[in-house]
Amino acid sequence: MNETLTVKDFGPIREATVEFKRVTVFIGPTGGGKSTLAKLAAIYRKSLTEDNLLFDKVGDKFIGESFGVSSYHIPQTFIAFTTAEGRIIPISVKPSSVNQPEVDVIGQLAEAAFERYMKESGLEIADAVTNVYEKIEKPFNRDVHEDLRQVFMSTFKNRIASNVAAKLKFVHNCVYIPSERIFYAAISFSLAGLMRDDINLPKPLLVFVNDFSGAKKEVTDVELPIFDVKYEQRNGDDYIRVPGREKPLYLHETASGIQSVAPLLVLLEHLSRQTERPQSFIIEEPELNLYPEAQQALLNILVEKCAKADGKNDLIITTHSPYVLASCNLLLEAWKVWEKRPDLEQEIAAIVPRASWINPAEFAAYHVADGTVKPITDERTHLLGANELDAVSGDIADAFRKLLRLSKQQPAADA
C-alpha cells in the first residue's frame, strides 16, 4: 500500500510516523498505542471509502467514536494520512475556546477562500494540498486570533479532504476485526436480548458480529485446519464438528482458541470470495488463546487470505506475541531463499506454504511504546532483529540467572 500515517498528540501517541506496507505489524506493551494506530488507519480508510469527512462539522464530532478513540483528541492533535498516490489528507481540531457563532463566520470565510483559491489557481486539489496552507495561513497569522485561525485552517483542510476523497474514491473495502471477537461465542445465544435492551456493547464488536452473521449465511461450512475440526452453521447456530465424535459441539462449548478463530476464518473465507475490489484487513491480536504452533499456522492463513501476493489486498496486525514476529521471519526468509534459489521453490514450499511467503519489500514492523514507534526490521537482513524477538525471554533469563546466583551464595556466618 505504501500509505503513511502521521500522528501527534492523540491518545497514547505523542508523535509517530508509520508507513503501511502489504503486511504491517505492530507489537508493544499494553496501552502503548498499537490499536490506536490500527484504528486510525481504519478510520481514514473507511472515511474515504464511504466518502465521509473525518468530522461531521468543523472538528465537532470525530467519527472515531465508533472505535472508542474520540476522546483522544485535544487542541494540539494533528493527524495526516498520505495516500499511495502521495495525496495528503490532514485534519486538525477545533479549539474548545471558540464558540459556535465564531465557528460559523470563520467557516464561511474558509469556504470563500477555498473557492477563490480553486478559481484563481487552476490547480487540481490533489496537487494543491501540499502547498495551499502556507498561502492561506500567512495572512491569517497577522489578522486573526490564534484560536480562530485554527478553526479556519481546520475548516479549510476538511474542505480539501472532502474534495480529495471525492476524487480518490478509495477503492479498498476496509475490514476491522477487533480483539473483542472472542466474546462472540459467549453472547451469541443472548445477543438479540442484549441489543434489544440496549446494552452498551463495544461498537467494533457489534460491527464484527454483524459482518460475521452475514458471512455465515453464505459460508455454512469451513475447515479449520489449525485444530483439525470443521465449522458448520445450521439454522443460524454455530457448531464445531470434531473427528470421531458423532454429534457436533456448539461453538461456545469448544476451546477458547477455537471460539476466537472460527468466526474470524468464516468471515475471511466469505470476504476472500469477493474479488470485485481490493480489501484492507486490520486484525487485533490474532494470537488470542492460541498455542505458539497454532499462532504460526494462523499467520500463514492470514497472509494467504488477506495479503495476496498480487498486491491488491493488505493486512495490518497488532500483537503482543513474539511468536507472531518469529512466524513473520519464517515467511520473509522463505521469500528470500526462493529469490536466491528459485530452482528450490518446491522444496521451500514443502516447509512454508507458497501462498504465505512475504516479500521483505512489502513488509513493515514497528515497536509501539512510550508515545512513539520504532521500526524493528533489520536493514541489512530485512528480517526482524533477534533483540526484538528475544527481549522478553532475555529479561526472564536474566532474572533466572540472578536467582541461581543467589541460591549459590553461602549464608553469612552468625555473629
Dump pLDDT digits (tens) for 183-212: 888 887 666 555 555 567 778 888 888 899
Q: In the prediction, which pLDDT does 51 show?
A: 44
What is the model's pLDDT at position 334? 93
Predicted confidence at residue 128, as pLDDT, reads 46
SS3 state of residue 299: helix
CB of 330 closer than 8 Å to CB of 299: no
Report the candidate in 393, 389, 395, 390 with the shortest Cα–Cα distance to residue 25: 389
| pLDDT of 227 | 95
Please say if the pLDDT value at position 177 is more than 80: yes
Burial class (CB in 10 A: 0-12, 13-18, 19+), 345: middle
312 or 55, which is more confident: 312
Which has more pLDDT, 60 or 116? Answer: 116
Instruction: Identify the three-state secondary structure at position 178.
Output: coil
Please give the pLDDT value at position 394: 62
Per-residue pLDDT at 299 exceeds 50: yes
pLDDT of residue 78: 77
Question: How many CA atoms within 13 Å lie on the side-chain side of 94?
Answer: 21
Question: Pick the residue with more confidence: 298 or 146?
Answer: 298
- pLDDT value at position 98? 47
How much is the pLDDT for 85? Answer: 58
- Is the confidence at residue 254, as pLDDT, over 60? yes
Extended beta strands in 145-248, E state? 173-177, 221-224, 229-234, 237-241
Percent of the chain scoring above 90 in pLDDT: 42
Q: What is the pLDDT of residue 158?
A: 59
- The set of cell numbers assigned to 204 is 467494533
Report the predicted TM-score, pTM, of the whole model to 2 decimal places: 0.77
| Least-confidence region, from 1-15, 177-191, 314-328, 377-391 | 377-391
Residue 48: the pLDDT is 60
Burial of 298 (0-12, 13-18, 19+ CB in 10 A): buried
- How many CA atoms lie less than 13 Å away from 163 in the CB half-sphere? 19
Share of the chain above pLDDT 70, in %: 66
For the ranges 14-18, 173-177, 256-260, 372-376, the lowest mean pLDDT is seen at 173-177
Digit-coded pLDDT (tens) for 326-353: 899 999 999 999 999 999 999 999 999 9
**What pLDDT score does 4 carry?**
87
Q: What is the predicted pLDDT for the residue at 290?
A: 95
* 55 has pLDDT over 50: no
CB neighbours of 65 closer than 8 A, spacing ≥ 6? 203
pLDDT tens for each residue of 124-135 = 544 444 444 455
Longest dimension (CA), the chain: 94
Residue 65 scores a pLDDT above 70: no
pLDDT score of 84: 66
Does 239 score more than 90 pLDDT? Answer: yes
Is the model's pLDDT at 411 over the cut of 90?
A: no
pLDDT band at residue 356 under the 50/70/90 scheme = very high
Summary mean pLDDT of the chain: 78
Q: What pLDDT, on a 0 to 100 scale, did the predictor assign at position 198? A: 59
- The pLDDT assigned to 43 comes to 83
The larger pLDDT score, comparing residue 407 to residue 335, is at: 335
Residues with Cβ within 8 Å of residue 168, at least 6 apart in sequence = 48, 83, 85, 87
